C-alpha cells in the first residue's frame, strides 16, 4: 500500500477513535502526550513516545486501540492523582 494511502487510513482511524492529531506532515503524525506515528514501508505504523520507539503495528485498529487506552488511562490517572477525583 502506498504511504499516502496508509496516511489517509491512519488519519481516518485516529478520527474514528477521537484521537486528536496535532500535526501531520510527511510520513509522521504528531499526537498529544509526546506520541507520534511514523508510517513505514508496507503496512507498518511505528509508534514513538518521547523520542523512543514503543511498538510497531501492522493493524491500524490495534494501533489506535493502544493509543486510546494509554490516553484514557493517563487522563484517569491524572485526575486521581490531582486530588480532584
Q: Could you read off the pLDDT tens digit of each residue along the chain, which spans 85 residues?
A: 566 889 999 999 999 999 999 999 999 999 998 999 999 887 899 999 999 999 999 999 999 999 999 988 877 776 554 454 4
Q: What is the arrangement of strands in the sheet containing 52-57, beginning at the earlier edge strand?
A: 21-25, 28-31, 35-39, 45-49, 52-57
Instruction: Specify the pTM.
Output: 0.82
Q: What is the pLDDT of residue 56?
A: 96
pLDDT given for residue 85 in this prediction: 44
Amino acid at each position: 500500500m502506498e504511504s499516502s494511502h496508509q496516511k489517509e487510513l491512519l488519519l481516518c482511524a485516529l478520527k474514528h477513535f477521537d484521537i486528536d492529531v496535532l500535526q501531520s506532515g510527511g510520513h509522521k503524525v504528531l499526537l498529544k502526550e509526546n506520541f507520534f506515528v511514523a508510517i513505514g514501508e508496507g503496512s507498518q505504523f511505528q509508534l514513538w513516545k518521547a523520542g523512543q520507539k514503543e511498538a510497531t503495528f501492522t493493524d491500524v485498529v490495534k494501533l489506535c486501540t493502544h493509543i486510546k487506552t494509554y490516553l484514557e488511562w493517563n487522563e484517569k490517572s491524572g485526575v486521581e492523582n490531582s486530588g480532584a477525583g
